[in-house]
Amino acid sequence: MQKKIRIKDIAKMAGVSAGTVDRVLHNRGNVSEAARESVEKVLKQVGYKPNMHVSSLSLKRKYTIVVTTPQASAGAYWESIHNGIRHALDEYENIKVKFRIFTYNQYDIYSCREVFEKIAHYDMDGVIIGPTFHEETVKLCEKLSDRDVPYLFVDSTIANTKPLAFFSADHYVCGQLMAKLITSIIPQEGKIGILQAVRTGDRSANTTILRIKGFTDYLTERGCLNPILRIPFSVATPEDNKRYLSQFFKNNEHIPGIVVMNSRGNFIANYLSANNIMGVKMICMDLTSANVEALKNEQIDFLIGQGPEYQGFFAMKTLLEFLVFKQPVSVQNYVQLDILTKETIDYYKNFTNIIY
């Protein structure tokens, strides 16, 4: 309970005025070499930590921040990311932020191009990107870099870019985890069905591939001999899926376990229920409301969450603290993977709850 060290105290210790300390803290220039050194020495010595909430109180500057992600449907993955972002804005309610969300259709590359083109010329202080299309994202990032606009990724990161930071699950490890879970709960050498998107252009490009790699590597490393069956599935054209599934389950009876690497696990779960296919263990991704319901109904055995609210929250928080307080930023931020079951789901704090 030692007394808080204030700017004033630093000033006295360094033998200068508060204004000079402020100029050093914010790199505003117009400070003599001698004064700067003296202040910086004291700063280091006492480990000064500004009170951000007070600081933002007297902040005059306005910031414009752009968020671009795939369209967010209710109760689904991207909505949670948006919620996290909004909560970060509440937390720093004193900072004057104008923020705009640009969403694109994650199954339509032209929609993405159009939106990114707009963003590339928009006047803003920072961008948070939920990426889907690799090439388009790289291009956007190059333009942003040229303009010195910092950008952050959520959900996954993109190679050949220099983001200020990214917040993402380690999708490779996620795949390993799914392998561990499914092999733990089905008989040895039991067949495993894996949901595999039939078209690229959705998040598969970035994340599912990594997950599948982690999954198969795990099985190989452990010498698991479970046969892997790919279940065709299309997120873009859902009308085809019933056909895909009925065909699959006609050819493959008595599958003991299914792993779904995107957030549409509930679709399979409901198909199984509707067609009275019992005793299939399921491991699925993401706490969409549909998946949560399926978990509660014991249609899904383990649901893995990647804290989308957390990702959004910290992406925005990091960006704000970087812009306003020039805080140093850690670039790689792998979020935790939450394993949920019917028993624990009711107690799960989706992070939005944590803050308030």
From the list 137, 176, 207, 318, which residue makes contact with its own copies (rule: CB under 8 A)?
A: 176
- Cβ proximity to its own copies: between 184 and 252 the closer is 184
58 binds, among its own copies, DNA, none (CB under 5 to 8 A by kind): DNA
Establish if 327 lies at the interface with DNA (CB under 7 A): no
Region near its own copies per CB under 8 A, out of 6-14, 32-40, 268-276, 336-344: 336-344
The CA-to-CA distance between both ends of the chain, in Å, stands at: 25
237 binds, among its own copies, DNA, none (CB under 5 to 8 A by kind): none
Site string for its own copies, 120-159 (x = CB under 8 A): ----------------------------------------
Establish if 121 lies at the interface with DNA (CB under 7 A): no
Quote the least distance from Cβ 314 to its own copies, whole Å.
9
Region near DNA per CB under 7 A, out of 53-61, 174-182, 251-259, 314-322: 53-61
Of residues 284-303, which lie at the interface with its own copies (CB under 8 A)?
301
- Cβ proximity to its own copies: between 44 and 349 the closer is 349
The Cα 329–Cα 96 span in angstroms is: 21
- Cβ proximity to DNA: between 41 and 118 the closer is 41
Q: Regarding beta strands 165-168 and 126-129, do their DSSP bridges make them parallel or antiparallel, or are they unpaired?
A: unpaired
Region near DNA per CB under 7 A, out of 54-62, 131-139, 239-247, 290-298: 54-62
Quote the least distance from Cβ 309 to its own copies, whole Å.
12
The Cα 152–Cα 126 span in angstroms is: 8
From the list 60, 121, 250, 349, which residue makes contact with DNA (rule: CB under 7 A)?
A: 60
Quote the least distance from Cβ 96 to its own copies, whole Å.
8
60 binds, among its own copies, DNA, none (CB under 5 to 8 A by kind): DNA
- Cβ proximity to DNA: between 119 and 324 the closer is 324
- Cβ proximity to its own copies: between 31 and 88 the closer is 88
Three-class DSSP labels, the chain? CCCCCCHHHHHHHHCCCHHHHHHHHCCCCCCCHHHHHHHHHHHHHHCCCCCHHHHHHCCCCEEEEEEEEECCCCCCHHHHHHHHHHHHHHHCCCCEEEEEEEEECCCCHHHHHHHHHHHHCCCCCEEEECCCCHHHHHHHHHHHHHCCCCEEEEECCCCCCCCCEEEECCHHHHHHHHHHHHHHHCCCCCCEEEEEECCCCCHHHCCHHHHHHHHHHHHHHCCCCCCEEEEEECCCCHHHHHHHHHHHHHHCCCCCEEEECCCCHHHHHHHHHHCCCCCCEEEEECCCHHHHHHHHCCCCCEEEECCHHHHHHHHHHHHHHHHHHCCCCCCEEECCCEEECCCCHHHCCCCHHHHC
Establish if 68 lies at the interface with DNA (CB under 7 A): no
Which two structure tokens, joined as six digits, stand for 99? 């923020």
Establish if 177 lies at the interface with its own copies (CB under 8 A): yes
Quote the least distance from Cβ 227 to its own copies, whole Å.
21
Please enumerate in sequence order all residues whose Cβ is within 8 A of that of 159, keeping only pairs 6 or more positions apart, or say none: 134
The Cα 259–Cα 182 span in angstroms is: 7
Residue numbers at the binding site for its own copies (CB under 8 A): 1, 4, 51, 53-54, 57, 93-94, 96-99, 169-170, 173, 176-177, 180-181, 184-185, 301, 310, 334-344, 347-349, 354
Residue numbers at the binding site for DNA (CB under 7 A): 4, 6-8, 16-20, 22-23, 25-26, 29-32, 34-35, 50-51, 54-55, 57-61, 94, 325
